[in-house]
Structure 1
């Protein structure tokens, strides 16, 4: 068997074992070491040490446990209930007010936590029953809860963007700037859809009774001052420090963690038990991310050494593709991979296969990353995995069927695809804010006038990851 055939066999067996339910990180390492030993001999063990040290010494990953810790502290500060109630009062006269309040709460809370499972579960316990009691259609309520809870992997500070930056060698600072407008646009499209359904089909989203809508303005303002603005101020401070260059993502994440503790103390929701639980969950999540990176680096390095990467590149280049068809093919593959796999596997295993091809089609890694972040919204919503739907099913009333939840998320998947098309055909939605803050190198002469070929410049050196060198 040739080395290239070994590489393709390695990739195929990995998918087979993952579908059987084996742990992803250790499956990656096992496949990498086994096939690496066949192709490289004992040198593969040197590779294991080298890649493990490289992951542990990667500065860009420091912000991951800090942002995760910030999210867990805020999650346990019991702020979500206050936030939802205040936004519900503020949007009382809007059609579909409960759905609008749910999506707005998800968007803000997701930026603070970035943990999809936590947001969907908490909103499934709080907002989903409230919508059902108000007479909302089960499918609409389920779709709103699941789709809103997934916004955390797109809207900064997103852990997914940090992992993509470490994988692709793109500045996390510029990824945050690039994702800001598309993230708000997607949340806005979700809200517009919910309002549209409430206007066209009032029976699916009935208006609240007058006694729940007629709330004095002073009471609404007081509720917002005690719930919405403190969290919004913390998030604005963290993101503002990053985007304006006042702090690196790691430094801003550290201050955000401190701010989350202060916020929990202010709400009298901080305790030693909650702190220990948050630290434990943060350590578990961070360990998962680190071992996933170690495994993926070993796997991808062996895959490249055996010639699998070169074989994939040659195959793609042999196809009659232009920039648009390449992007369509790449995003379609990632969309399909989102059915059986989670976003972490896609980012660290399959995205590196496409990265070397970006230069051939004049596509910026930054722009490509934002499209992937949009695309991966569907990985939480698309059956058969659809983790967001299973999170909701786990806390939903018994009469709510999984089929209803699947049907409810389908319109939001279509909205995500529409948003991706908008971003592709109007790339300024991605490039405008990074361009204003950091500037771009002018496009090369003769390149397609789409704006996709502008490579990101600037950013903090601490948060720049280096591309993995080829071993062959």
Structure 2
């Protein structure tokens, strides 16, 4: 059997063995070592001196030296702490009250909480299970169709793996040699756009067929108003904002109100705190507009500004010959640290007499096209200037858009506060207590990365600390739950690390056998146009998503396509985000469809797996529609990274 045939046999065999249920990471390592031993076999060399063992050590060393992976355990810990802290119950109740008058309000609330909670945790299984416990029975008890209830939980629960901060994006960045922050910025709009398409579908389906989501009974749509809030509304004004202002200035009548929750008496300090709560919409609008103005008009116009802190970037290999890890590039050896063994002791090409020739790619998936440009995250990367040579003028469109946005925001605030009665105030208070802390934490974690204030790893540390503080403040995190969160974090991180080592060994042997070069020649021989290649590659990944999970697709098959992007002049960031959206189907497509099995485990017995599968099918079509729109309108993906980092 020729070397290329051996390489293709490896590729086919890995799919078959994984589908049989063997662990992915150890299957990758086992096949890589077995075929590599055959590739490097020399009858004159002792079994233990086969160079595949040197390759295994070098690939493991290179994968574990990849600094991009440092943020994974911290982001995973952040997600598990919030999931174990049970912070979502109050959030679901308050959001459901806020959207109680929308068609299919429980389904809409479930999608919003899935999206928001998925962003914060990034754990598909945890979000699906948690929302299955919290939302499935209420929807079924309200008469919702089983397919609608199961579909919105499974589809919404997968959004966390797409919208930053996402572990999948970090894994792709390490495999493809791309900047994490650029990928985060590129995936932001498509992720929220996909959630919007889900929302439009749910509301549209309910409007067309109201029987699938009956309106809630009146008693479930009423908001319980505390006695002290009712007293303020009667004593001062029906509109709560002027009532709170008047009560803060003249609290005599307010102090006669019944105690609040927990027996707290009404005092001037309590009234001032609630006045700030009532002004939260004004504060959010003002902070958002001020941040946009500061960044565009002030910050981006600085010429001599000091360089911001460096953002993490996947390091390039120290030498072309050291790259053999399926896209996992070894960083340059730091001074004083571990270094690669000399070439004489490392893995070398087998003798020409054996017929085994290493391809020009030097044994691995090469750095993808455009990596030398997009590897850095704009002005925030190592070795790049802090800003362009001169400020780029603010376009007139920004001022026009800013004025229109400010005017519409003012109109909305006026309309909102004209209807701001005791019921609306109580809903806002519940939202502020349950949603605001998580919203602020998520915003801070993403903003400090995108604006170059911290690295992704430092931001993940801030997020993990914030998750602990939130759970501690809510008094829901015990020592036992902390141990569970840490154990699950170690388990998940170990799985990812073993996957990278296995992928590095497998792809190195695959390339040395000539499998990578054979695939490239085969694709180029078809004379595909860039559009045709894009369609073919995404179609293959879509089909692979049926039997395989996203981790296996990212570390095994994505590196096969990466070297071909330069030939077809396809932006690796755009292609990568298309892969992220495409892989949503991996969680929604039978027979694997792990989100369906997660939900089945916590659903009532009468809910069958076929009903869950049927509920997921329309969302697969929405994923395809989203990908089509992303290709037709590339700015949906590329506008934000170009605006933030240029290039």
> TM class by shorter-chain length?
over 0.9
Structure-2 separation of matches of 1:370 and 1:173: 13
Check the 8 A contact 1:66/1:254 in 2, yes or no.
yes
Structure-1 separation of matches of 2:68 and 2:527: 37
Q: Which residue of 1 aligns with 2:338?
A: none
Deviation at 1:40, TM superposition (A): 2.0
Q: Which residue of 2 aligns with 1:411?
A: 618
Q: Which residue of 2 aligns with 1:452?
A: none
Deviation at 1:9, TM superposition (A): 1.1
SS at match of 2:88: helix
Larger Rg: 2
Q: Which residue of 2 aligns with 1:30?
A: 30
Q: Which residue of 1 aligns with 2:432?
A: 225
Deviation sequence 1:271-321 (CA, Å, 0-9, x none): 211111111000000000000000001000100010000000000001131
Deviation sequence 1:361-420 (CA, Å, 0-9, x none): 111111111000000000001001010011111111111111111110111111110000
Structure-2 separation of matches of 1:399 and 1:212: 25
Deviation at 1:214, TM superposition (A): 3.3
Structure-1 separation of matches of 2:23 and 2:114: 30
Return the match for 1:329 from 536, 552, 560: 536
TM-score (norm 2): 0.67
TM-score (norm 1): 0.92
Q: Which residue of 1 aligns with 2:10?
A: 10
Structure-2 separation of matches of 1:275 and 1:396: 27
Return the match for 1:93 from 76, 80, 101: 101
Return the match for 1:253 from 424, 437, 460: 460
Return the match for 2:450 from 235, 238, 243: 243
Q: Which residue of 2 aligns with 1:463?
A: none
Structure-2 separation of matches of 1:158 and 1:62: 13
Check the 8 A contact 1:117/1:391 in 2, yes or no.
yes
Return the match for 1:364 from 565, 571, 595: 571
Deviation at 1:212, TM superposition (A): 2.1
Q: Which residue of 2 aligns with 1:159?
A: 167
Return the match for 2:628 from 410, 416, 421: 421
Structure-1 separation of matches of 2:133 and 2:490: 26
SS at match of 2:567: helix
SS at match of 1:268: coil
Structure-1 separation of matches of 2:192 and 2:614: 24
Structure-1 separation of matches of 2:63 and 2:138: 44
Structure-1 separation of matches of 2:470 and 2:485: 15
Q: Is 1:105 matched with 2:99? A: no
Deviation sequence 1:194-219 (CA, Å, 0-9, x none): 11111111101111122222331122
Return the match for 1:175 from 179, 183, 186: 183
Structure-1 separation of matches of 2:36 and 2:563: 21
Deviation sequence 1:25-56 (CA, Å, 0-9, x none): 01100100011111124111111111111121
Q: Which residue of 2 aligns with 1:447?
A: none
Structure-1 separation of matches of 2:118 and 2:33: 37
Q: Which residue of 2 aligns with 1:280?
A: 487
Check the 8 A contact 1:303/1:309 in 2, yes or no.
yes
Structure-2 separation of matches of 1:409 and 1:17: 27
Q: Which residue of 1 aligns with 2:377?
A: none
Runs (4 or more) in structure 1 with deviation over 3 Å come to none
Deviation sequence 1:250-279 (CA, Å, 0-9, x none): 000001000000000110012211111111
Deviation at 1:73, TM superposition (A): 0.3
Deviation at 1:436, TM superposition (A): 0.6
Structure-2 separation of matches of 1:248 and 1:277: 27
Q: Is 1:209 matched with 2:416? A: no
Q: Which residue of 2 aligns with 1:346?
A: 553
SS at match of 1:361: coil
Structure-1 separation of matches of 2:19 and 2:445: 38
Structure-2 separation of matches of 1:126 and 1:319: 51
Q: Which residue of 2 aligns with 1:297?
A: 504
Q: Which residue of 2 aligns with 1:451?
A: none
Deviates more, 1:186-195 or 1:34-43: 34-43
Deviation at 1:22, TM superposition (A): 0.9
Deviation sequence 1:66-95 (CA, Å, 0-9, x none): 000000000011111111111101101111
Deviation at 1:13, TM superposition (A): 1.6
Q: Which residue of 2 aligns with 1:456?
A: none
Check the 8 A contact 1:293/1:348 in 2, yes or no.
yes
Query: Unaligned stretches of 5+ in structure 1?
Result: 441-472
Deviation sequence 1:168-191 (CA, Å, 0-9, x none): 001010000000000000111111
Superposed, 1:425-444 pairs within 5 Å as 425-440=632-647
Structure-2 separation of matches of 1:131 and 1:189: 21
Deviation sequence 1:400-459 (CA, Å, 0-9, x none): 11111111011111111000000011000000000110011xxxxxxxxxxxxxxxxxxx
Q: Which residue of 2 aligns with 1:448?
A: none
Deviation at 1:126, TM superposition (A): 0.8
Check the 8 A contact 1:197/1:205 in 2, yes or no.
no
- Tell me which protein shows more helix as a share of its residues: 1
Superposed, 1:65-80 pairs within 5 Å as 65-80=73-88
Return the match for 1:126 from 125, 128, 134: 134
Structure-2 separation of matches of 1:290 and 1:106: 27
Q: Which residue of 1 aligns with 2:583?
A: 376
Q: Is 1:51 matched with 2:59? A: yes
Return the match for 1:61 from 50, 55, 69: 69
Structure-1 separation of matches of 2:473 and 2:192: 28
Structure-1 separation of matches of 2:446 and 2:534: 29
